[in-house]
Structure 1
Amino acid sequence: MWRQPRPVWAVAFASVIAFMGIGLVDPILKPIADDLGATPSQVSLLFTSYMAVMGVAMLITGAVSSRIGAKRTLLTGLAIIVVGSALAGLQDGVTGIVMFRAVWGLGNALFVATALATIVRSARGSTAQAIILYEAALGVGIATGPLIGGLLGELSWRGPFFGVAVLMVLALVLTSIMLPATPAAAHPTSLADPFRALKHRGLLVVAITAMLYNFGFFTLLAFTPFALEMGAIQIGLIFFGWGVLLAFSSVVVAPWLQHRFGTLPSIFGAMTLFGLILAAMAVFTMTKPVLVVGVVLAGFALGINNTLITESVMKAAPVERGVASAAYSFVRFAGGAVAPWLAGKLGEEISVHVPFWVGAGAVVLAMTVLYAGRSALAHLDDKEPAESPDEELLDEAMALSLTD
C-alpha cells in the first residue's frame, strides 16, 4: 500500500493540507476576537461561512469535475484555497476574514470532492488499500491542523492563514507536475441530480441525521476554545489529541465495530457516547480538565461516527454514489454552518453551559431521526458486488469532505 507512484503522494500531501483547514482556526479564534474586538459569535462565523459555502459547492463539484476533468478540478480548488487563505490573513476586520474563509471553503469543496478518486486512479494495490491511504491523509490533516494553527498562532493569528497558503502553493506545484492529465467524463453530471436523490427516504434519513450530529460536532469545535480561555498553543495541543483519536477510531475502530456489531448499532453507540460527553461538558463547563478530556474523547466517538455514516450514505439509495454524496454533503453542512454562530450567541447572551446542552440535544435528536428511519436502512450490512474504483472512490471523496 505504501509503495505508490509520485502522483499518489502528491495528491495525498495536498489532501493533508486541505483537511488541516477544518481545525486550523480553532486555536486562533480567541486571539482573533481579542485583537479585533469581536464577540465569540462573530468570530465563529469563520466556521459558518466555510461550511455553508462548502456545502452549497458540493452540489456543483460533480458537474465541474465531470466537464473539465479531475486534474483541472484539483488545481482549481488548490488555487482558490491559496487565494482565500492568504487574503484572510491580510484582513484587519472579522468581516473580511469571514468572507475569504468562505472563498477557502469553495476551493476545499472542489479539491476534496475529487482527491480520493484521483488517488485510486493512480494507486497500486486494491481499492480498499487506496481508501485507507486516503483516510490516513485525512486523519493526519485533521490532527495536525490544530497543532500547526496553535504553533503559528503563538506568533500571530495571521500566521496559520499564511502558513496554509504557502503549503498549498507547494501542493499546487507538486500536483501540477506529478499528476497526469485526466479527461472529462463521457456523461457529465446534472446539477439537479442531487436534489432528486433526496427523494429516497434512506438517503434523506442519513443526511438529516448527519446534519443534526454535525450540529454537536461544530459546537464542540467552535465554542470550546472560548470556554477553555487558554493560549493558542494549548488549544492546538488539545485539539491535536482530538484529531489523533479521531483518525485512529475512523481507520481502526470503526471497521472493527461494524464487523462485530453491525453499522446502525455502532452508529448509535458512537452517538450515545458523544451526546454524553457534550452533556458532561455542559454540566462542568467551568472545570477546564473536564473540557479538555471531553474534547479529546469526543474525537474517538466522532471518528467512528464519521466513517460509518459515510459508508451508510454509499448504500442508502439506489442512485449513483457521487450524486448521493453531493446531496448528503449539502444537507449535513447546514448543521455545521449554523452551529458555530448559534453556540457563540447562546454563550454570550444566556450562559456558557447552554451551547453544550444544545449540542447534546441535537445529537439525541439525530439518534431519534435515525431510529425512526431505520427500516429504510435495514440493508446497510448486506454484501454488495464489487464496484469500479473510480465510481466508489469519487463518492467516498465527496462524502468524506470534513467532515466529517
Structure 2
Amino acid sequence: MSAPRGKAASPFKQPKAVWVVAFACVISFMGIGLVDPILPALAENLDATPSQVSLLFSSYLIVTAVAMLIVGWFSSRFGAKPTLVTGLSVIVVFSALAGASGSINGIVGFRAGWGLGNALFIATSLAVIVASASGGIGGAIILYETALGLGIAVGPLLGGELGAMSWRGPFFGVAVLMAIALVATLAFVPSLPKPERRTSPIAPLKALRHRGLLTMGIMALLYNWGFFTMLGYAPYPMELDAHQLGLVFTAWGLLVAAFSVFFAPRLQARWGTAPVLYANLLGLGVVMAVIAAGVDTPSTVIVAVIVSGAFIGINNTLTTQAVMLVSPVERPVASSAYGFLRFIGGGLAPYVAGKLADATDLGVPFYLGAATFLLAIPVLASGHGLLRRAEERPEQGPPVGPSLTPVGEAAPATGAKPPVLVAVGAHERAEGIVDAAARLARDTDSPLEVVHVQQTAVVEEQAVETEESDAARAAVTAHLDRLAARGVPATGQILTSVGDHAAAGRALARHAADVRARTVAVGRSPRGPVAQFADGGFTAALTHAAPCDVLLIDPSEAPRPLTPKTLPLLRTPS
C-alpha cells in the first residue's frame, strides 16, 4: 500500500532460494502439457488405444486429487522444505521409471507416482517463494507467475522436440531437470519454520460441508472435466507429428498464461467474478462443441484448441478466486478441498471419454465436455448470492487499538463525522505517511483510522497468504501505539482481499464507502510500471472506485489529490 519514494523495486532481485524454486516450478508446470505432443506416438509405439493412453492423465490427476487432502497435514508436520524435497524426489524417480517402461500399463502406474510428487510440490512451492522473498512479496509473486507462464508455454514445445526423437524423451527430460532442481533446493533453500498449528488430514473433507466451498468445488470439477477431455483427446484428430503438436500446444499455453495473469483480473474488476465466469464457461462450451462438430477437420480442431487457451486462463484464475472469496475456512484447507474436487473431475474425464470414444466415435467425448462446461453455469449460479456478497463486502476483523490502551479509550468520538483513512504497508516511510494523515485529520477535525489490507495472492490455481494475521495486526498496532504516545487519537482496521494489488485497492474503496470516509490517504508505490501492470495497481483501483477524495501523501510535499488523469504521475517516482 503506502510505499517509500525512490527507485522502483525490481521483482527479479530475489535470493537464490526463490530462483531455485521458480526453476522447479517451470519444470513442474511443464508436466501436463509435456506429454500432449507424444500421445499419438505412445499409442502407435506401444500398440495401445487412445483410451488406454488417456489413463496417463487419469492416474496422474486422481492420485494428485487424493494427495491434495494430505499435503497440508504433511507440510504442517514436517515443514515446507522437506515437503518440497520429497515432492521433487518422487517426481524424479517416477518420471524416470515412466521413461524406462516398456508398456502402457507401466507408464500409467508410474504417472500415478508422479502425481503424488506433483501434489506435494505444487501445494508448497508458492508459499516457499513468498516466505523466502527478500525482493518484495509482490516481486516474488510476479516471478512465480513468470515461471508458470514459461512452464505452460515451453512444456509442449520441449515435449514436441524431445518426443520427435523418442516418446521416452519427455519423461527422461523431466527427470533430469527435476534432479537439477532437487540438488539446488537442498543446497540453497533454507529450512523454514513449521506452522504453529498442524492441519488435520480430514480438514479438507470437513470443509466441504460449507455450501459456498462445495458449490465452487463442484463447478471446478465440471470445468476440469471438460478441460481434460480436450487436453487428453484433442491431439488425435489433429493428425500432426510430435513437433507440430508441440507448436500447437505452445500457442495454446501462451494464451493460457497471458489471460490468466493479465486479462482475468482486469475483466473481473470491470464486470465481477460471477458474470465473467458465466460468459467464460459459455465460451468454453461453444469451443468444445466446435471441436466435436469439426472432429474430422484437423484445422478446425487446431484453431479451436488454441483459442480455448484464452478461456482456460481466465477460468483458472477466477475459479480459484471464487473459492477463496466464499470459503469460511483457512486458505490452505480451502485450497486442498478445492484441489481434491477439481483434480477428481480432471482424472475421471479422460477415462470416461475413452470409453465413450471406443463405444461410439471421437466426437461424443467432446460433446460431453461441452455439456459439462454448460452445466457448470447453473451450479455457479446457485452460489451467485454468496459470491456477490463476498465480493461487495471485504472481510474485516474487529477494530485494532493501541497495545497498551483498550480499544475505544484512545479513539476519537466519531459521531457523524466522516473519518480520514490512511492505508499503510510495512516499509521504512510508513510512519511519515501516517503522521501526515494525522495532521490532515486534525486540520479537518476528523477521526483517523489506520487501515491495512491483508492480501491473499492468487496465481492461476494457487493461493497463498502474503503475510500472517499477527504480523498485519502488529503493523497497525505499532502505528497506533506511536500516535497514542503523542496524544493523537486513532483507531485501526484490518481488511482482507483475494487477488492482486488492484483487488486490495477495491477492498479499501468499499470500506471507505461503508464508513463514509472523508478522505483516503495513500503513499507512492515503489513497484514500477512493469510490476504494477503485472500485479495490478492498488492506488489506481482505489482512485477509480473510492466514493471520496484520494490524496497522495508524501511527507516532504503537500498532499495532492488523485484522479484517474493524475495517476500516471505515480508510475515514475520523483
TM range, smaller chain:
over 0.9
TM-score by length of structure 1 reads 0.95
More helix by share: 1
Q: How far does residue 132 in structure 1 lie from its aligned partner after superposition?
A: 2.8
Distance 1:128 1:267, change over 3 A: farther
Match of 1:187 in 2: 197
Alignment match of 1:163 (pick from 132, 154, 173): 173
Which residue identity lines up with residue 310 of structure 1 in the other structure?
T
Match of 1:248 in 2: 258
Distance 1:96 1:194, change over 3 A: same
For structure 1, which segment, 155-164 or 142-151, has the greater mean C-alpha deviation from structure 2 after superposition? 142-151
Match of 1:373 in 2: 383
Do residues 24 (structure 1) and 34 (structure 2) align? yes
Q: How far does residue 173 in structure 1 lie from its aligned partner after superposition?
A: 1.1
CA contact (8 A) 2:320 2:461 kept: no
- Structure with greater Cα Rg: 2
Structure 1 unmatched ranges of 5 or more: 399-404
Cα deviations across residues 230-255 of structure 1 (Å, max 9, x unaligned)?
11111111011110000000000001
Do residues 329 (structure 1) and 339 (structure 2) align? yes
Distance 1:66 1:392, change over 3 A: farther
Match of 2:507 in 1: none
Alignment match of 1:278 (pick from 284, 288, 291): 288
Cα distance between partner residues in 1 of 2:389 and 2:225: 27
Q: How many pairs does the alignment contain?
A: 398
Alignment match of 1:231 (pick from 237, 241, 256): 241
Do residues 347 (structure 1) and 357 (structure 2) align? yes
CA contact (8 A) 1:257 1:266 kept: yes
Distance 1:315 1:206, change over 3 A: same
Residue aligned with 2:391, SS: coil
Alignment match of 1:91 (pick from 72, 77, 101): 101
CA contact (8 A) 1:75 1:176 kept: yes
Match of 1:402 in 2: none
Match of 1:148 in 2: 158
Match of 1:178 in 2: 188
CA contact (8 A) 2:320 2:460 kept: no
Cα deviations across residues 185-230 of structure 1 (Å, max 9, x unaligned)?
2211001211111111111111000000101100110001112121
Alignment match of 2:88 (pick from 68, 78, 91): 78
Do residues 359 (structure 1) and 369 (structure 2) align? yes
Q: How far does residue 126 in structure 1 lie from its aligned partner after superposition?
A: 4.6
CA RMSD in angstroms, aligned pairs only: 1.9
Distance 1:367 1:394, change over 3 A: closer
Q: How far does residue 128 in structure 1 lie from its aligned partner after superposition?
A: 3.9
Cα deviations across residues 348-393 of structure 1 (Å, max 9, x unaligned)?
2201111110000000011111112212222342334533779999
Which residue identity lines up with residue 209 of structure 2 in the other structure?
K
Which residue identity lines up with residue 214 of structure 1 in the other structure?
N
Which residue identity lines up with residue 159 of structure 2 in the other structure?
G
Cα distance between partner residues in 2 of 1:21 and 1:319: 30
Do residues 133 (structure 1) and 164 (structure 2) align? no
Distance 1:130 1:306, change over 3 A: same
Residue aligned with 2:198, SS: coil
Q: Percent identity?
A: 53
Q: How far does residue 59 in structure 1 lie from its aligned partner after superposition?
A: 0.5
Match of 2:463 in 1: 396
CA contact (8 A) 1:120 1:390 kept: no
Match of 1:387 in 2: 454
Q: Which has the higher contact order (CA 8 A, sep 6+)?
A: 1
Cα distance between partner residues in 1 of 2:354 and 2:242: 18
Match of 1:37 in 2: 47
Cα distance between partner residues in 2 of 1:259 and 1:290: 33
More strand by share: 2
